[in-house]
Every structure is written in structure tokens, then in C-alpha cells.
Amino acid sequence: MESVDEKKPAPPAAVAADVENGAVEKHPDEKILQHSHDADEALKAFSGLEGEVIEVDEATNKRLLRIIDRHMMPLMCVIYGMNYLDKTTLSYASVMGIKTDIDLTGDDYQWLGSMFYFGYLAWEYPTGQLLQRMPLGKYSACCIIMWGVILSCFAAVTNYSGAIAIRFFLGVFEAAVTPGFALLTSQWYTKKEQGTRVGIWFSFNGWGQIFGGLVAYGIAVGARKHGSAIEPWKIVFLVTGLLTIALGAYFYYLIPDSQLNARWLKKEDRILAVARVRVNQQGIGNKHFKMYQLKEALLDPITWAFFFYALVGDIPNGGISNFFSQLIVSFGYTSEQSLLYGVPGGAVEVIALVINGYLGDRLGQRLLCSTGGLVCSIVGMVLIVALPLSNNVGRLIGYYMTQASPTPFVALLSLISSNIAGYTKKTTVAAFYLIGYCVGNIIGPQVFRPKDAPRYVPAEITIIVCWGVCLLDLYFIWWWYNRQNRKKAAVRADPSYVRLENQEWLDLTDRENPEFEYTL
């Protein structure tokens, strides 16, 4: 049986009032008393219970988890797959005639690849604040619908400037998806469940690549054999854009802003769904911006370690995701074959992310498990660099191995859900992580220079170096969290330590709360 608290809590309203006027017992960390007056939304779920202890037994916990998974995960997975597919449709279009049709010359294609991330970068921090202050489910849904509309408009593009504008605004509206999904995961799932769930929905990047490759190949072959009223690459944008709009509308209907307004949960189950995540020591959301949490995020070394990983680790991602079709063509295959042969790469990503998420949660070592995918990717890129051009099969296998590279990125994303507490701090760290992601993806396409074709050796060596540096960064993060957990254990062991009642609902940061333990 899982008890949501170690001792009988005071009524939430009384706790909030006592904290505000300083009537609670003195806590070792005075900052907790100073900043906890603005508590988490979760306290609303327990108002009027008059100190009653809510217990969630194992059977009830499993029942609720099944209901939550059934309603949340399938749609989140499909939409995240579209999130990847929609921004990489340009790669398919690059071998389907778009370069000629809109007169792309010189570095135009590289800048189209980067422009998406300029939009993402410009809007990432504002959208992080809106995710905190606006209804989480509804704001995310509106962004999904708008990115589908923008993507559909790509079919009407006739020149480079129009394509630049579309790519920029596509980045603006997709900026809410990854941080929004990370917040949803931390809101609905316990720490032990989060790594697996993040791994599953992020793995649909791979399913997006599989689906997109098959659709693009089918459209290309069909257009060649039977002709088409519009250019094949325009059909790709219309299909993916309209499908995204439909999924966004369904997301608006199905995904609630929190457990407290989930239409598919009974009233009593809504309270239990909040109670089951009490062990996270994070709450389910707070609508108020807190300057001290922003400052703490900016001064926390982990924020910058996460940012550094996202920046350096996504230089390879930005290059490969925009150039994988052309990279496969450089191995000696035709443009049509490149659309089909890119599909197994998506399968490798799916397998790597699902296995890594499961093992990371099972063994309690998300970071260490994730390094396996990065090492596999380094070996794959070495094969691409070292093997002769005539060995097209070996180089293609090397490309497939590189598709395991997202495992550490996803592990760190899941740790933002698990290890960053305080809602303002969480949204800030998520925003900085994805700003690093944007900058890396902006740089990535620029390292694939036309003059280096067909081998792109300088770009491939750059990718190997970036991934090697990322391994060192991962080790630092793992060491830092181990060190902080030991410090927190020492604080809790001190005889003078007093735990505040309802401490987990006070919107404390991970550094403020001695009860908070970091997941590795």
C-alpha cells in the first residue's frame, strides 16, 4: 500500500495560511517558508477533506495508471511522431523536386533547414511561460492545430522567401510541443514511470520517419507512374499538414489541463490521480511566475549542463535530420530508394528509445543506460567516414546505427520531468534545454557544405567529436546528481530537521526541498 504522506496532514487551506503568516514549525531551510505561500494547484483537490489521509493502494494505482495510459499515451505518441515528420518533410521534398520548383541555389536549402529552428528559438522561452500560465492542454492543442495549418500552406509556396516564412512559423508553433509533453508527463506520472513514458512518446520520432518515408515513397512512385495534378512534394505537405490539424482538434477535446478537469476520470478518481503523484514532491502545476525560481534555474549548474548537451548533441541531429535522404543518395542509391531506405533508421530509433526508457527506469540509471545509444551512434558514424564509397551497404548500416543517438537527449528530457521541481524553474530549464536544441539544429545543417558532397567528411568528423564531448557532459550530470542526493540525505538525517506538512504541494524547487531525491 502506498501512503501519500508519512503523517496526518493539516487541512490544506490552514496549511497555506500558516505558511503565509509564519505559524508553521521552523524548517531548516528558511527559503521554504519565505516562498511557499503560493502553493501548487494540487491543494485544490484536497480542500475540505479536514486532514483526511488519502491512501492509494497498489490495485487502485494500477487501475488509474491503465486509465491514464489509455487516454493520454496513444494521442501523445501519434502527435509527437507528426512533430518529427512535419519538420523533416523538407528532407523528403529535397529529393522530390522542391529545389528546382522553387529555385533553390547555393546555400538556400541549408538555410531552409535552419530557419525552422530560428522560429523555434525565438518563441521557446515565451511559449514556456505561456505553458505555465495558460491551460496546459488547450494551449498545446491550439499550437498543434496552427502548425498543421502552417505546414499545409507549404503546398502553395512558389519561391524561396515564401518557404523561409513557412519554416520560421512552423518552428514558432512547434516550440510548445516538447516542453508541453514534458510537463504533461511530470503532471500525470510518478518518477518511476516517467522515463519509460518519455521514451515511448519520443520514440514516435522513429515511427514518424517510418510513416513519412513510406508515404513519400508511395507518392513519388505513384506520381511517376500515373502523374499527378500537383507536384509530388506538395502532396506530402498537404497530407501531413491536414492530418496534424485533425489530430490537434482531437487533442483539444481529449487532453485535460490537469487531473482536476479530466472528463474521462470520475470525480473521486481525479483526486486519487493527484494523490498518486504526491511521491514526486512536485505537484501538478502553478500558474504564477516566481522570480526567485528563475534566478535559481539560472544559477544551477545542471541548467547549463543540460543546455550544453542539447546544443552540442543536436549539431549532429540538425545535420542528419535535414540531410539523411541526400546522405543515403551519396551512398550510391537513387532518390526514390533513399525515401524507402530511410525507413529502417526510424525503426532503430524506436527500438533504442523504448529499450533505453524501460531499462533506465527498471535499473534506476537512465543516464548510464542512455550512453549505450550514443556509443552505438559514434561507431556508426565512424563506419560512414572510414568505409570506401563502393561499400554502400556498410555505410547504410552505419547510418542506421546513428539513429540510436537520441537516447541521451530523451533521458535528459525525462529528467527535466523528474528532477526539476518548482513550476517556474521547471518551465525555465525546459526552455533553456530546448533553446540549446534549437541552436544546435541551426548549426547542424551548416556543417553539411555542398562543396563536400558526396562524402561530407568534415561534417561527419564534426558529428563524431560532438558526440564524444556529450559523453563527458553526461558523466558530469550523473556525478552531480549523486553528490546532491548525498547532501540531501545528510540534511534529512539531522535531528533538527522538520518536515513541513503538505510540503510536496508547496511548489518548492528541487534544491529547496530536502525530501526531493534526484533520479539518476
* pLDDT tens column, 153-205: 999 999 999 999 999 999 999 999 999 999 999 999 999 999 999 999 999 98
> Residue 410 in contact with residue 350, Cβ under 8 Å?
no
Which range is least confidently modeled, 52-56, 265-269, 275-279?
A: 52-56
What lies within 8 Å, CB to CB, of 475 at 6+ separation is none
* pLDDT tens column, 364-417: 899 999 999 999 999 999 999 899 888 989 989 999 999 999 999 999 999 998
The total number of structural domains in the chain stands at: 1
Residue 196 counted as domain residue? yes
Percent of the chain at pLDDT exceeding 70: 89
SS3 readout for 223-251: HHHHCCCCCHHHHHHHHHHHHHHHHHHHH
Residue 381: give the domain boundaries.
55-498
Residue 518 counted as domain residue? no
Residue 10 counted as domain residue? no
Residue 84 counted as domain residue? yes
Residue 39 counted as domain residue? no
Residue 2 counted as domain residue? no
Cβ neighbours around 110 below 10 Å, total: 20
Q: What is the CATH number of the domain that holds 294?
A: 1.20.1250.20
List, as own/partner pairs, every contact residues 229-235 make where C-beta atoms lie below 8 angstroms and the sequence separation is at least 24, other chains included.
Answer: 230/155, 231/96, 231/97, 231/98, 231/101, 232/96, 232/97, 233/92, 233/93, 233/96, 233/97, 233/98, 233/101, 234/154, 234/155, 235/155
Residue 141 counted as domain residue? yes
Q: How far apart are CA 421 and CA 429, in angstroms?
A: 10
Residue 301 above 80 pLDDT? yes
Q: What's the whole-model pTM score?
A: 0.82
Q: How far apart are CA 30 and CA 299, in angstroms?
A: 19
Q: What is the arithmetic mean of pLDDT over 114-131? A: 90
CA dihedral 174, 178, 180, 183 (to 10 degrees): -170
* pLDDT tens column, 17-36: 333 433 333 344 444 444 44
- Count Cα atoms within 13 angstroms, Cβ side, for 1: 6
CA dihedral 250, 254, 258, 263 (to 10 degrees): 150
Residue 9 counted as domain residue? no
